[in-house]
């Protein structure tokens, strides 16, 4: 067990969250450069012929220059084994991000220095806060004109309700950006403009009190820095590791991912401030990876057709305890039977690497013959415990799906079911109509485009989507309810999900309250459980 413990101690598993265009994918790539995994970074917004970001692999992502699925990237750096869960920034794909955050032990929040906290950052931060996971802030794009630094911190504290503790401090911004001041070391880190996309560039460290500092950054910039340091020492929260661990204090770093300013400094501090894999809650209590010897994991993501040559389904699982061996047989708690985990692999975006071993904290993909669902638990423990389910977020947009060619019914049903099992869309059927009509629900409308694109490209099926007016969905919590006897409003629609559970759709929010008043004892829930 001591060897396994040492491996687990090395692990750091975190998600990167941000509003679109804050530079999250660029930051991810720079981490990979420092880990020696890639030699040059791809540009997300490059021309059609340019390299695409390593973590963006789906065709539609390359065309639009946005991340629509989470990628899982692993690399080694300075004695640590790091698992990065890169998440979609676009709000229409936030469902995938919510689930990915369930598999992370901490989160890195990337903020654009010229914009501050944006809408999507707020949404994702709430999920982190719900789970009390440590949040580290990287204020990016300091090489462009930025908001006042104190205003940026104020923005984070007011908008997100979390105190901040700057670990370093920027010296200027835009063309006047000289580098960062490290508060603990009382040193100025000066950066030469690096060859964009290559590795590290030159970093020169100078004590802030030395005469050299003034000549290197300019006396005016130095005087302003000293004034800001004094203000900062008096006003900002003290660094407190316990509060960071509880998700109640966010350490803040400044830099520019594009030019590598401050990225390695951030990575080094981050690794010492985060912990190895954390315990997880199950129906048998907390499972601590440092105590539990048996293997256990939960599925947080399913992705079909990651590689056109393979046409397969991969179930991504977060290992929570023990050691994984290729080909091992484990108990599938929800399926109630033993399964063999075959073709275990770790991903570098669409590149696959077959692995022999993995440990608590790691994320692996295994071949899924169609038996796994999001939230499933796999374990070798005799206790056969199940980890807490992953919330299913309520779709906000609905459409009826019609096939253009009804002769392709078989491909259509297979395709739409597989995409639904990945959790990107939710599919429902009309209740009691005897019709085979399918209604699709999504969190963001861009998901409809992805659905059309994928059905056409991966399953050769063309569809027409007819938008429906519903905006609210509720799961019925009562067991053995007879939907025929539920009386609702004229804008209510009765539907069922894939597991035959009854649900209600509403156009107006007031209809939900009215339906509950008309049906005594009816319990409606905003979230489903996987």
Q: Are residues 460 and 366 in the same domain?
A: no
Q: Which of 273, 295, 320 is the last residue of a domain?
A: 273
Residue 81 counted as domain residue: no
CATH number at residue 238: 3.40.50.300
Q: Are residues 205 and 145 in the same domain?
A: yes
Give the CB-side neighbour count of residue 429, counting CA atoms within 13 A: 15
Q: How many domains does the chain have?
A: 3
Q: Are residues 368 and 236 in the same domain?
A: no
> Which residues are CB-neighbours of 526 under 8 A, at least 6 positions away?
394, 474, 475
Q: Are residues 180 and 219 in the same domain?
A: yes
Query: Cβ–Cβ contacts within 10 Å for residue 443, how many?
Result: 21
Residue 97 counted as domain residue: no
pLDDT score, position 154: 93
Angle ∠(478,394,281) on CA atoms, nearest 5? 75
Say yes or no to pLDDT of 46 above 70.
no
Residue 474 counted as domain residue: yes
Q: Which has more pLDDT, 113 or 102?
A: 113
10-19, 115-124, 201-210: least confident range: 201-210
Say yes or no to pLDDT of 342 above 90.
no
Q: Pairing state of beta strands 329-332 and 337-340?
A: antiparallel
pLDDT score, position 255: 93
Q: Pairing state of beta strands 345-348 and 351-354?
A: antiparallel
Say yes or no to pLDDT of 422 above 70.
yes
The end-to-end CA distance of the chain, in Å, is: 33
Q: Are residues 197 and 336 in the same domain?
A: no
Residue 31 counted as domain residue: yes
Q: Which of 379, 412, 432 is the last residue of a domain?
A: 379
Q: For residue 247, is it left (φ>0), alpha (ψ between -120 and 50) or beta?
A: left
What secondary structure letter does DSSP report for 378? E
Q: What percent of the chain has pLDDT over 70?
A: 84
Q: Are residues 476 and 517 in the same domain?
A: yes
Q: Which of 354, 379, 404 is the last residue of a domain?
A: 379
pLDDT score, position 382: 93
Say yes or no to pLDDT of 103 above 60.
yes
Burial string for 488-522 (b: 16+ CB within 10 Å, else e) reads bbeebbbbebeeeebbbbbbeeebbeebeeebeeb
pLDDT score, position 58: 52
Q: Is 176 helix (H, G, I), strand (E, B) or coil?
A: helix
**Which domain range does residue 305 map to?**
280-379
C-alpha to C-alpha distance for 463 and 151, rounded to whole angstroms: 48
Q: Are residues 309 and 365 in the same domain?
A: yes
Q: Are residues 284 and 153 in the same domain?
A: no
State the maximum Cα–Cα separation within the chain, in Å, rounded to a whole number: 83
CB 289 within 8 A of CB 8: yes
Please give the distance of CA 254 from its chain centroid, rounded to a whole number.
Answer: 22
Q: For the whole model, what pTM was predicted?
A: 0.78
Q: Which has more pLDDT, 96 or 384?
A: 384
Residue 94 counted as domain residue: no
Residue 78 counted as domain residue: no
Averaged pLDDT score across all residues of the chain = 83
Q: Are residues 140 and 121 in the same domain?
A: yes
Q: Are residues 38 and 179 in the same domain?
A: yes
Residue 466's nearest CA partner among 485, 489, 440 is: 440
Residue-wise pLDDT for 384-398, tens only, equals 999 987 777 778 899
Q: Are residues 228 and 257 in the same domain?
A: yes
CATH number at residue 424: 3.30.70.3280
CATH number at residue 333: 2.40.30.10
Residue 336 counted as domain residue: yes
Q: Are residues 427 and 303 in the same domain?
A: no
What would the mean pLDDT of 87-111 be, rounded to a whole number? Answer: 75
Highest mean pLDDT among 182-196, 203-217, 319-333: 319-333
What are the CA-CA distances from residue 269 to residues 83, 112, 274 (Å)?
16, 20, 9
Residue 85 counted as domain residue: no
What would the mean pLDDT of 498-518 be, rounded to a whole number? Answer: 90
């Amino acid at each position: 067990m001591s060897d396994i413990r040492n491996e687990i101690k090395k692990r750091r598993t975190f998600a990167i969250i941000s509003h679109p265009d804050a530079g999250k994918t660029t930051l991810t790539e720079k981490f990979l450069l420092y880990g020696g995994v890639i030699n040059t970074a791809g540009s997300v917004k490059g021309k059609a012929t340019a390299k695409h970001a390593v973590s963006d692999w789906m065709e539609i992502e390359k065309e639009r220059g946005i991340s629509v699925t989470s990628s899982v990237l692993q690399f080694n750096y300075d004695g640590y084994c790091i698992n990065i869960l890169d998440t979609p920034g676009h709000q229409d794909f936030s469902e995938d991000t919510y689930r990915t955050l369930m598999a992370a032990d901490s989160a890195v929040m990337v903020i654009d220095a010229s914009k501050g906290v944006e809408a999507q950052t707020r949404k994702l931060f709430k999920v982190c806060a719900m789970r009390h996971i440590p949040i580290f802030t990287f204020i990016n794009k300091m090489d462009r004109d930025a908001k006042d630094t104190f205003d940026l911190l104020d923005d984070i504290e007011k908008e997100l309700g979390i105190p901040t503790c700057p670990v370093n401090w920027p010296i200027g911004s835009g063309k006047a950006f000289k580098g960062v001041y490290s508060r603990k070391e009382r040193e100025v880190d000066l950066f030469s403009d690096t060859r964009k996309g290559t590795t590290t560039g030159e970093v020169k460290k100078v004590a802030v009190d030395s005469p050299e500092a003034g000549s290197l950054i300019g006396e005016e910039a130095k005087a302003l820095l000293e004034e800001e340091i004094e203000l900062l020492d008096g006003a900002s929260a003290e660094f407190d590791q316990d509060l960071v661990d509880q998700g109640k204090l966010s350490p803040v770093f400044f830099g520019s991912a594009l030019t590598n300013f401050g990225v390695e400094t951030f990575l080094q501090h981050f690794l010492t401030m985060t912990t190895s894999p954390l315990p997880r809650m199950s129906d048998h209590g907390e499972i601590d990876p440092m105590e539990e010897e048996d293997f256990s994991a939960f599925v947080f993501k399913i992705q079909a057709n990651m590689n056109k040559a393979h046409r397969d389904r991969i179930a991504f699982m977060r290992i929570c305890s023990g050691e994984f061996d290729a080909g091992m047989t484990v108990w599938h708690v929800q399926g109630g039977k033993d399964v063999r985990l075959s073709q275990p692999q770790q991903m570098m975006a669409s590149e696959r690497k077959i692995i022999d071993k993995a440990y608590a904290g790691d994320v692996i993909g295994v071949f899924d013959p169609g038996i796994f669902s999001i939230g499933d638990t796999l374990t070798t423990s005799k206790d056969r415990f199940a980890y807490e389910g992953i919330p299913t977020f309520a779709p906000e947009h609905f459409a009826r799906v019609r096939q253009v060619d009804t002769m392709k019914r078989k491909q259509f049903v297979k395709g739409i079911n597989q995409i639904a099992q990945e959790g990107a869309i939710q599919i429902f059927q009309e209740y009691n109509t005897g019709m085979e009509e399918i209604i699709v629900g999504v969190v963001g409308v861009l998901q409809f485009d992805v659905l059309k694109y994928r059905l056409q490209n991966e399953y050769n099926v063309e569809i027409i989507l007819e938008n429906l007016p519903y905006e609210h969905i509720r799961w019925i919590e009562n067991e053995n309810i007879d939907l025929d006897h539920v009386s609702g409003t004229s804008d209510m629609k009765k539907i069922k999900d894939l597991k035959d559970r009854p649900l209600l759709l509403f156009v107006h929010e007031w209809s939900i309250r009215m339906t509950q008043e008309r049906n005594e004892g009816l319990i409606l829930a905003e979230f489903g459980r996987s």
